[in-house]
Amino acid sequence: EAGVTQSPTHLIKTRGQQATLRCSPISGHTSVYWYQQALGLGLQFLLWYDEGEERNRGNFPPRFSGRQFPNYSSELNVNALELEDSALYLCASSFAPRPLGGGELFFGEGSRLTVL
Partner 1 sequence: GENVEQHPSTLSVQEGDSAVIKCTYSDSASNYFPWYKQELGKRPQLIIDIRSNVGEKKDQRIAVTLNKTAKHFSLHITETQPEDSAVYFCAAATGGGNKLTFGTGTQLKVEL
The one-letter code for the residue type at 49 is Y
User: 86: how many CB neighbours lie within 10 A of its CB?
Assistant: 16
Q: How far is the CB of 55 from partner 1 (least distance, A)?
A: 6
* Nearest CB to partner 1, comparing residues 54 and 80: 54
The one-letter code for the residue type at 22 is R
- DSSP output for 70-109: TTS-EEEEE-S--GGG-EEEEEEEESSPPTT-----EE--
* Nearest CB to partner 1, comparing residues 58 and 79: 58
Q: How far is the CB of 58 from partner 1 (least distance, A)?
A: 9
* Nearest CB to partner 1, comparing residues 1 and 98: 98
Q: How far is the CB of 94 from partner 1 (least distance, A)?
A: 5
- Non-local (6+) Cβ contacts of 109 within 8 A are 6, 9
Question: Which residues are at the interface with partner 1 (CB under 8 A)?
Answer: 4, 31, 33, 35, 40-45, 48, 50, 55-56, 59, 90, 94, 97-105, 107-110
* Nearest CB to partner 1, comparing residues 39 and 70: 39
Q: Identify the sign of the CA torsion 80, 94, 2, 69.
A: negative
Q: How far is the CB of 54 from partner 1 (least distance, A)?
A: 12
